[in-house]
Chain A
Amino acid sequence: MFCNLDVEGAMKDPHPLDRRSFLKCALASGAALGITNAAQHAAATTTGEDDSRFVVEAKFYQKLQNRKVKCKLCPRECTVGDKERGYCGVRENRGGTYYTLVHSRVAAAHVDPVEKKPLFHYLPGTNAFSLGTAGCNVNCKFCQNWDISQSRPEQVPAQYAPPQRIAELAKQHSCPTIAFTYSEPVVFSEYLMDAADAGHEAGIRSIVVSNGFIQEDALKTAYGKMDAVKIDLKSFSESYYRQVVTGQLKPVLDTLVNLRKMGKWTEIVYLTVPALNDSDQEFRGLAQWIKANLGEDVPLHFTQFHPEYLLKNLPITPVPTLERAKAIADAEGLHYVYIGNVPGHPAQNTYCPKCRKMLVERVGFTAGQMLIEKNRCPSCQQPIAGIWHA
């Protein structure tokens, strides 16, 4: 696989990479972006001495007796003994104090179109300086980037990128936004908060791509700093979350409701996996719940599954399945239902929910035409929900 190392070239590459290859390229691109002179080799890249740069006391935990701690970041609430790590693998108890090991420890960095997140109703046609660290607080059997999300930080090549450096790089590359993405930003919340602050001071916005599996206090504190949020809602069933995701549905639904209350622009992605979460009943239940709890204007993206990681025995999601999902969600009254990971599909475009005029045309990950004016359809003046203009 050819990988462009320069940002301009990578952005112009017309051949989409699979996500795993992309991440490998993304790391190399990070070096090209000048984050640091990190070595690019397969084994760990940091020594014990270097590691201290990335170690910061965690913000969301509780000290217990006998040098144990209870993590209060995600609903898993790991009780962690001395010298042990939480489920995420990036937080460690050292003598009764809990530390994040991934502050400023960037495992992947790239300049991406914001449509790639995907966020379709947020500054279309702009780029986001995108980054992620190692670690994740769930273990999805279909994970497309398991080689960083399911690894410990010392096991993946990483680069030192303190918050101010991220803001500088975003500005340098004309990105109006920093995107926290690739693995699971919940697990690097402290870094996300500091980088978002640095970005805001420099006039750069922040967005996060997350599983939403986070406690309410942490959500309000960390994601309260975000300008927009994309939540991967993996399914609408607790059993799926338990068996395929190693998580829970209820806390994610709570997160979506809380984001709504916080006034954060939110879009939802539903990775549609054949035979596992693709029933009419589940699609309908999902759409009805969104309409009742979040409103009809929340964009919902049904995206195509590709076999990866521990789910290689299933086929790619047939496009008619995605179209069936969209038809059901449309019929339930959601205004903006998209089909993702299917290049060229007309359901990648944004249409006015009232007059059906195409308002944003998307080709691949780029926005072609963008006709929305003052947050309204220029044809019928219907308000179009989203953050359309900087």
Chain B
Amino acid sequence: MAALLDHAVRTLFGHDHSVDAWRNLVHPGETVSLKVNTLGGRGISTNVQLVAAICERLQQASVKPADITIWDRDSVELERAGFHVAIGGDRVQCYGTDRVGYEQELSAYGSVGSLLSKILTQRSNVLINVPVLKDHDGAGVTIALKNMYGVINNPNKYHPNGCNPYVADLNMLPEIRSRMRLTICDATTALYEGGPAYKPEHSWSANTLIVSQDPVALDHTGWQIIERKRAEKGLKTLEAEERAPGYIATAADAEHRLGTNDPKKISLIEV
């Protein structure tokens, strides 16, 4: 897993040594948080070994262990996914927002008005998004942009209309946008149908990491991977099922400009 991560990061940033790439991304004294996705339990959550490898590289890039936080919405879900909750001391921190709560003041953009996790606002100079690659019955797919639903108090309010424009609006919140530096999508195991909960009959070992600083390009690329798998399995496209992830195009539009979904502008380097 570490070798795969190193290869991806070196290639993305054009460095011979992966630690050099990480040193360009984070700096000593910064607090770094890794927003994982643990809704799917052991079956399909962010890979623990991948997260361990990221933490190791961050420390090699001179980030103190206690300045690193692995987190999601809920501590119990983190444990169910294989993470060990750790709070305090000099070690890498790992816990859910349930342990610290949400800010009291609303953050709002467009259709979104939410309270943000204190882990984001108080423990993260730098946010590294570490989602998984999944089909989603409402949104079409859930990859990088939608993983931010785990940052707020009221994600249930933002599922109508295939989560569009809510996903894009949420990622526009300055507290999220200003901290987001990198997305490392764990597609070692992925889900092409029946998500977001784990469905073993619809998962496959994609054995892939997708790494980008453009979450829109990453989501577009991940969506296409899921569509290819669906076609291979004889399933309809998400569009044919009337659940294409329209929020990706919204995130790329002139109002949001969170990245690009234009395949001509996406440099896809497969290693």
Chain A interface residues (CB < 8 Å from chain B): 42-44, 48, 66-68, 78-79, 81-89, 139, 141, 147, 150-152, 154-155, 246, 309-310
Contacts and interface: CB of A to CB of B under 8 A. Distances in A.
A219 to B, nearest CB: 22
Candidate in B74, B76, B197, B199 with the most chain A CB atoms within 10 angstroms: B197
Contacts of A89: 154, 156-157
Contact of B157 (A42, A87, A155): A87
A87 B160 contact: yes
A138 to B, nearest CB: 9
B182 to A, nearest CB: 27
Nearest to A135: B156
A246 B113 CA distance: 13
Interface of B: 39-40, 74, 76, 98-102, 104, 106, 108, 113, 115, 137-138, 153-154, 156-157, 159-160, 194-197, 199
Given A150-B154, A151-B153, A309-B113, A83 B197 contact: yes
Nearest to B159: A87
A88 B156 contact: yes
Contact of A155 (B76, B102, B194, B197): B102
Given A42-B101, A87-B157, A150-B153, A310 B113 contact: yes
B196 A152 contact: no
B156 A85 contact: yes
A309 B154 contact: no
A81 B196 contact: yes
B194 A66 contact: yes
Given A43-B98, A83-B39, A309 B157 contact: no
Nearest to A138: B157
14 contacts: A43-B98, A48-B76, A66-B194, A81-B137, A81-B197, A83-B196, A89-B156, A139-B157, A150-B157, A151-B153, A151-B154, A154-B74, A309-B106, A310-B106
Contacts of B101: 42-44, 155
Contacts of A68: 137
A87 B199 CA distance: 23
A141 B110 CA distance: 12
A82 B197 contact: yes
A84 B76 contact: no
A155 B115 CA distance: 11
B154 A44 contact: no
Contact of B156 (A42, A44, A87): A87
B197 A43 contact: no
Contacts of A81: 137-138, 194-197
Nearest to A91: B156
Contacts of A87: 156-157, 159-160
B153 A155 contact: yes
A147 B113 CA distance: 12
Contacts of A139: 157
B134 to A, nearest CB: 11
B149 to A, nearest CB: 11
B156 A67 contact: no
Contacts of A66: 194, 199
Contacts of B40: 83
Nearest to A310: B113
B108 A310 contact: yes
Nearest to A46: B98
Nearest to A68: B137
B203 to A, nearest CB: 14
A244 to B, nearest CB: 12
Given A87-B156, A87-B159, A154 B196 contact: no
A314 to B, nearest CB: 15
A152 B197 contact: no
Contacts of B76: 48
B48 to A, nearest CB: 20
Given A44-B101, A150-B157, 15 more contacts: A43-B99, A44-B98, A81-B137, A81-B195, A84-B196, A85-B156, A86-B156, A89-B157, A151-B154, A152-B154, A152-B156, A246-B157, A309-B106, A310-B106, A310-B113
A217 B73 CA distance: 35
B207 to A, nearest CB: 25
A154 B98 contact: yes
Contacts of B113: 141, 309-310
A84 B195 CA distance: 10
A48 B108 CA distance: 30
Nearest to A66: B194
Contacts of A88: 156
Given A43-B101, A309-B113, A84 B197 contact: yes
B197 A67 contact: yes
Contacts of A151: 115, 153-154
B153 A152 contact: yes
Nearest to B39: A83
A42 B39 CA distance: 24
Contacts of B156: 85-89, 152
What 3 A-B pairs come out closest when comparing CB atoms? A43-B101, A82-B197, A89-B156
Nearest to B101: A43
A48 B160 CA distance: 28
Contacts of B154: 89, 150-152
A139 B159 CA distance: 13
A82 B156 CA distance: 14
Nearest to B99: A43
A141 B197 CA distance: 31
Nearest to B137: A81
Nearest to A88: B156
Contacts of B197: 67, 81-84
Contacts of B102: 155
B71 to A, nearest CB: 14
A85 B76 CA distance: 17
Contacts of A43: 98-101
B104 to A, nearest CB: 8
A368 B137 CA distance: 57
A87 B138 CA distance: 12
